[in-house]
Amino acid sequence: MSRTTLRSRGKGSFARGIHPHDWKELAAEAAIEILPTPAEVTIPLVQHIGAPNQPTTKPRQDVAAGDILGDSGAFVCAPVHTPIAGKTALPLRVTLPNGRHVDAVPVKAEGDQMAEQALWDDIFGGSWPTDGQDGLDADTILARIRAGGLVGMGGAGFPTHVKLKPNPAKPVDVLLVNGSECEPYLTADYRLMVEASAPIVAGSLLAAQAAGAVRIVISIEDNKPEAVARMRDAAAGTGIEVVATTTKYPMGGEKQLILATLGREVPTGGLPLDCGVVVVNVGTAAAIARAVLRGKPLTHRIVTVSGRGVHRPCNLLAPVGVSHGALIAAAGGLTDQAVRVISGGPMMGFAISNLDTPITKGTSGITVLTGQDVQAEEETPCVRCGRCVDVCPLHLVPTRLALASRNKDWNLARRYYLTACMECGSCSYVCPARIPLVQLIRAGKATMPRE
Ligand code: SF4
Ligand code: SF4
């Protein structure tokens, strides 16, 4: 594929947003550790946006690592696979961190498991070609991505083969690879870029080939100079641009990233496709390389376990389906000061009370906060200071959206574009009245009737 070497035309930032303390120092220097094979995993059959999977195994069936556990005939769907060898158990119902209730297949570990170093080599090690992608046509790449069950690993959960499939009415010219990781505390993507840059490059080339993009830009916030350097080294000679943007929350939001990196604007209610861009996360790019070049499904991911509420903040290569509690135990367990466990980061994550909840393909981190961190203050009436409006990166009016959600006033909600909110939490973060703006908006989005 011939690829242009045009430079990024964004200004490196976007209007509004916030600068919270990022707490990255807790885990940024912790090299990725490989979690020993757990005794059991519980694989949710639905970890994506789209049609639900049906189980493809029976209870008490022997399975090998990588075997498929659930699939559907739908296009907008991503199958799920077991990360460990073992025996399936009776399906059960689990509640995911976002509150969704889904069926899940437990697998109890039995027989030989891959040794830790072999697992690393299998997932990220060895050589990753940066040429020869032209020999793979888009349909083949997309079929392998679907077979591997890939979804956006930044948390969105949208099936990757659907996202990359070319739309003749809206062709894309740029593949934007998101290495921002703007959520406080999380360092999983950072460690991936530092320790396994080669599969990210190989996967980016394959993703661009599938989507028909002629330009690839990897965008990283400038608080991660080591990651920028590693990615530039790995991408040398490929034509891929590696761009450092200003560190600002929520830079990792697709619209903000596109504007800051490329200078293009996604219209309100539109998609990156509407301005010729498709965005994938760096973890997804690495998983694309593995699925396409090695025929391996998405069974493991890197998870940051951090916060002042755990003894040993770390980054773990963990099997999908392991419990949040098992990862917290691997991080030395909870400290006496721990008061809140969040699946994800503190801005966009979900507080959980059941530590048996399994992680999914989209779980990038677990943040454990202390009483000092949360300092719950009572909600007081809005003082009309306008700070929430000043920071909203989407130029929404959070006060109106929260009011509409609280009163179930769906006409008002629609008039103020409730569904456009990306739930970044910037408005709640700055509100001096401690009004839970994003929680109200999130609840409103979940309950507002569809037109
Ligand atoms: S209204 Fe939505 S998009 Fe705007 S700051 Fe609040 S959470 Fe973020
Ligand atoms: S930041 Fe809080 S107090 Fe200020 S206008 Fe917004 S909702 Fe009201």
Residue identifier of the C-alpha nearest atom 6 of ligand 1: 427
Residue identifier of the C-alpha nearest atom 3 of ligand 2: 382
Tell me which of 97-106, 154-163, 241-250, 420-429 is least confident.
154-163
Predicted confidence at residue 131, as pLDDT, reads: 85
Q: Which two tokens stand for residue 154?
A: 């930044």
pLDDT higher than 50, residue 46: yes
User: In terms of Cα–Cα distance, which of 255, 249, 176 is closest to 208?
Assistant: 176
Give residue 157's pLDDT band: very low, low, confident or very high (50, 70, 90).
confident
User: What percent of the chain clears pLDDT 90, i.e. is strictly above it?
Assistant: 92
Predicted confidence at residue 5, as pLDDT, reads: 41
pTM for the full model? 0.95
CA 385–ligand 1 middle distance (angstroms):
16
User: What percent of the chain clears pLDDT 70, i.e. is strictly above it?
Assistant: 98
pLDDT (tens digit per residue) in 95-110: 999 889 999 999 999 9
Ligand 1 pocket test: pick from 268, 394, 406, 440 the residue with the most ligand atoms within 8 Å of its Cβ.
Answer: 394
Q: Is residue 251 part of a domain?
A: yes
Do residues 52 and 155 share a domain? Answer: no
Final residue of a structural domain among 267, 294, 321: 294
Do residues 289 and 176 share a domain? Answer: yes
Q: Is the CB of 388 under 6 A from ligand 2?
A: yes
Predicted confidence at residue 3, as pLDDT, reads: 41
Do residues 310 and 284 share a domain? Answer: no
User: What integer best gives the mean pLDDT of the chain?
Assistant: 95
Q: Is residue 22 part of a domain?
A: no
Do residues 126 and 268 share a domain? Answer: yes
Predicted confidence at residue 38, as pLDDT, reads: 97
Q: Is residue 24 part of a domain?
A: no
Final residue of a structural domain among 268, 294, 320: 294
pLDDT higher than 60, residue 150: yes
Residue identifier of the C-alpha nearest atom 4 of ligand 1: 392
pLDDT higher than 50, residue 297: yes
Residue identifier of the C-alpha nearest atom 4 of ligand 2: 385
Do residues 68 and 189 share a domain? Answer: no
Final residue of a structural domain among 57, 79, 113: 113
Count of domains observed in the chain: 4
Predicted confidence at residue 7, as pLDDT, reads: 60
Domain that holds residue 405: 387-447
Do residues 126 and 68 share a domain? Answer: no
